[in-house]
Each structure stands twice: as C-alpha cells, then as structure tokens.
C-alpha cells in the first residue's frame, strides 16, 4: 500500500510541482490555473526548481505558498500527496522514479519517459508501489475527442473503413522562438520530437476513438538539418525528424495513414483528421497538430449528404470547466485523478496507457530504421479516459 494511503487522506489533495517558470512554462500556463479551478479538490503546497532562488522567485510571482530547497525535499515532504512533473523529458525518469519510491502519486507530463524502456520501468514501479501514475495526454479528455468517441460508438460513421491524418508540428520548422526554451527539442536523443510530442498526443486520442494500432510502416526524415533561433539570431543543428510518415493497420483491420510536417501552417489550418466509414465520414480540424493545445472542431456527413455539416459538441461536455483549452483539458485529467483516488477507479490517463503509446512510437522508429512493416508490441490493459 502506498505511503499516501496509510493515513486518512485529507479533504484536498496536496500537490507539489516540479518545474515552474512564471509566464512561459507549461506548469504556469496549464497546471496552476487547472488546479486553482479545482480548488475544492486540490491545493498547491509548493514548487521545486533547479535552485531554491529560482523556486522562491517563481513561487512569489505565482502567489504560491512556498519553494522547496530541492526536488528531493519536495518528493520527501510528508505534506505532499501528488508530485506533478513538468520538466524536460530527459529528467522525467529520475524524478518520477524518486517520487514513486517515496510513495507519492504522480502526474507526469507526456512523454512519460525518454523511450519505451523508461516508460515500462516507471509503469511497473507505480504498480509495485501501489500508487497512481497519471500521464498528461490531455487530448484524450478534450470535449471534441470525447464526443467523437461517442459518435463512433453510436455508429455515425458505421463501420470504420480507414482513417487519414495530416498535420503540422508547430515546431521543428525553419526557426524556433527562444533558444532556452526550445533548443533541446532539436536533438533527437532528448526524446522530445515531433514524433513523440504532437504525434504522441494524437496517437493517445486516436487509440480511444478507433482502437489499437496493430502494424506500421514509417519514414522519419530530417529535411531541415539546421534551424534559426529568433531571439539570438544563430543557427542550430537539428537531428529530430521534421517529416514523419506512418502507414499501417488498426486492430480492426482499417488502414491508417499519418503525415506530420515540421513548422507552422500558412493559413492556421494545421490539423485535418478524416475518418471514413461505411455510413458516413467525420473530419476533425484544428490550428496545429497538437490536439491537446488547440481548439478542435468536428464536421460530418452521412448517407446521401453532399456536404459536411458542423457536429456541435453538446454543452454537457464543456460545462463546469475552464474555457481556455490548455488549462481546461489539464483540469479534466486532474478531476479524473481525484475521482480515481477517492473511488479506486482508473479513468485518468495512466502510466499503463502511456506505455501503450510509447509502444506505437517504438514500432514507428523500428519500421523507419529497418524499412520493414513492424507489429506494435503486445497491447496493455487501459481505460478509455473518462468513459
């Protein structure tokens, strides 16, 4: 049994955040407002950055109660129930591992680890410690994705015959805005690429809507080997792929085709996902290929209809949540996490779910390297988030 479960849990779950920079970090933009919107369920105890001075400055700017002297101090603090990990991907493994061994529940941003092996190790450790590991694949709980799941389940499209997705990665183009924030994304070895981040979030949602990916063929190409930095004017090398092409087959037998391209769209249309069915077709669109970050819209057509019509998401999917997409989707995951901890359920995206997405990514990487069609690793038990 986890350390957090041995004593009666307090009315509000107490959260310590690792990695917060006011005004620009993901924790500041997403996690803090999401937790404040759920103030009846959560309270932020404090934060930890790479130095106490940095943490104290961030805590003061965000009006948070305290800064811990180190990550180790935060992880070991008895007043912390949940450790939220929002640092860069290469640091996820060590921090999450320490938190799990301390008996803490963990909310880790996606990707869970730098590669499949790290993700599998962390998922196994969470199981062994008897704690909840939640991963931030928040596109899964976006109202449009939840409603899309329902439309497919209700037979709007009939039998799904195939699906095609074309998107722009937003980053990994000809320039990056800030060296300090974005330069690490350019190095493939850091595990934070267009394949792992935007396509990873998309794959997490796609699995909920259409089921498991069974086999893939792939091309990963780095067509831009350098990129320019807007704030310094320098050119930096890029080894991360700026072209990701995947074709394959879902477990249902339906073919799947995906093409992610680096950079921003010219006209603000950066995501087009089409689902073709025996009775109808559905289109999902958005401004970039980050469905976890952008406002999505749905259109559909059935039978003899010659034009797509809007498929408006019912108000029940949106009411009671922050209107802003970014904190709204993160808040939905935190709410599920709170319910899971209270009721013993598993509705929030879990570390096991994360391993399932990491397995698809590993298969894509293997297929691209070998030039061979590759089977995705054995499926893992998981929940369709919130359903």
Over the chain, what HEC string results?
A: CCHHHHCCCCCCEEEEEECCCCCCCHHHHHHHHHHHHCCCCEEEEEEECCCHHHHHHHHHHCCCCCECCCHHHHHHCCCCCEEEECCCHHHHHHHHHHHHHCCCEEEEECCCCCCHHHHHHHHHHHHHHCCCEEEECHHHHCHHHHHHHHHHHCCCCCCEEEEEEEEECCCCCCEECCHHHHHHHHCHHHCCCCCCCHHHHHHHHHHHHHCCEEEEEEEEECCCCEEEECCCCCEEECCCCCEEEEEEEECCCCEEEEEEECCCCCCCCCEEEEEEECCEEEEEEECCCCCCCCCCEEEEEECCCCCCEECCCCHHHCCCCCCCHHHHHHHHHHHHHHHHHHHCCCCCCEHHHHHHHHHHHHHHHHHHHHCCCEECCCCCCCCCCCC
Q: What percent of the chain has pLDDT over 90?
A: 90
pTM for this entry: 0.94
pLDDT at 380: 37
Min mean pLDDT across 88-102, 168-182, 236-250, 262-276 is at 168-182
Task: Tell me the domains of the chain and their CATH numbers.
Answer: 3-131 (3.40.50.720), 142-318+351-375 (3.30.360.10)
| Residue 377, pLDDT score | 84
pLDDT at 131: 97
Query: pLDDT band for position 199 (50/70/90)?
Result: very high
Higher pLDDT, 158 or 380: 158
Lowest mean pLDDT among 20-24, 25-29, 113-117: 20-24
Q: Tell me, what's the pLDDT at 5?
A: 46
Confidence tier at 143 by pLDDT (50, 70, 90):
very high
What number is the average pLDDT over the span 150-166?
98
Q: Which pLDDT value is given to residue 1?
A: 43
The answer on pLDDT for 203 being more than 60 is yes
How do residues 30-56 score in pLDDT, each as one tens digit?
A: 999 999 999 999 999 999 999 999 999
pLDDT band at 379 (very low <50, low <70, confident <90, very high): very low
What are the pLDDT digits (tens) for 173-190?
Answer: 988 888 888 899 999 999
């Amino acid at each position: 049994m986890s350390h957090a479960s041995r004593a009666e849990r307090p009315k509000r779950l107490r959260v310590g955040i690792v990695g917060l920079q006011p005004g620009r970090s993901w924790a500041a933009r997403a996690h803090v407002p999401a937790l404040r919107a759920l103030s009846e369920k959560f309270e932020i105890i404090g934060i930890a950055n790479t130095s106490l001075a940095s943490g104290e400055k961030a805590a003061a700017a965000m009006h948070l109660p305290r800064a811990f002297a180190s990550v180790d101090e935060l992880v070991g603090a008895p007043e912390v129930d949940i450790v939220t990990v929002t640092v860069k991907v290469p640091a996820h493994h060590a921090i999450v591992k320490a938190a799990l061994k301390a008996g803490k529940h963990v909310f880790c941003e996606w990707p869970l680890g730098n590669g499949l092996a790290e993700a599998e190790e962390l998922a196994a450790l969470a199981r062994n410690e008897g704690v909840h590991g939640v991963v931030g694949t928040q596109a899964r709980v976006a109202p449009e994705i939840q409603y899309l799941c329902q439309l497919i389940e209700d037979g709007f499209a009939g039998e799904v015959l195939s699906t095609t997705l074309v998107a722009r990665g937003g980053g990994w183009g000809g320039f990056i805005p800030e060296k300090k924030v974005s330069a690490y994304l350019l190095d493939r070895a850091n595990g934070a690429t267009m394949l792992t981040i935007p396509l990873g979030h998309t794959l997490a949602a796609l699995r909920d809507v259409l089921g498991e990916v069974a086999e893939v063929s792939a091309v990963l190409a780095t067509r831009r080997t350098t990129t320019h930095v807007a704030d310094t004017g320098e050119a930096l090398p890029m080894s991360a792929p700026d072209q990701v092409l995947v074709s394959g087959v879902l477990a249902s037998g339906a073919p799947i085709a995906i093409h992610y391209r680096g950079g921003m769209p010219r006209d603000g249309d950066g995501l087009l996902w089409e689902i073709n069915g025996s009775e109808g077709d559905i289109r999902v669109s958005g401004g970039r290929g980050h469905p976890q970050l952008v406002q999505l819209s749905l259109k559909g057509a059935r039978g003899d209809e010659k034009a797509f019509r809007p498929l408006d998401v019912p108000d029940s999917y949106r009411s009671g949540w922050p209107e802003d997409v970014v904190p709204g989707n993160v808040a939905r995951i935190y709410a599920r996490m709170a319910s899971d901890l209270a009721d013993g359920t598993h509705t929030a995206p879990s570390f096991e779910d994360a391993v399932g997405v990491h397995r698809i990514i590993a298969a894509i990487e293997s297929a691209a390297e070998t030039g061979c069609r590759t089977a995705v690793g054995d499926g893992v038990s998981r929940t369709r988030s919130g359903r």
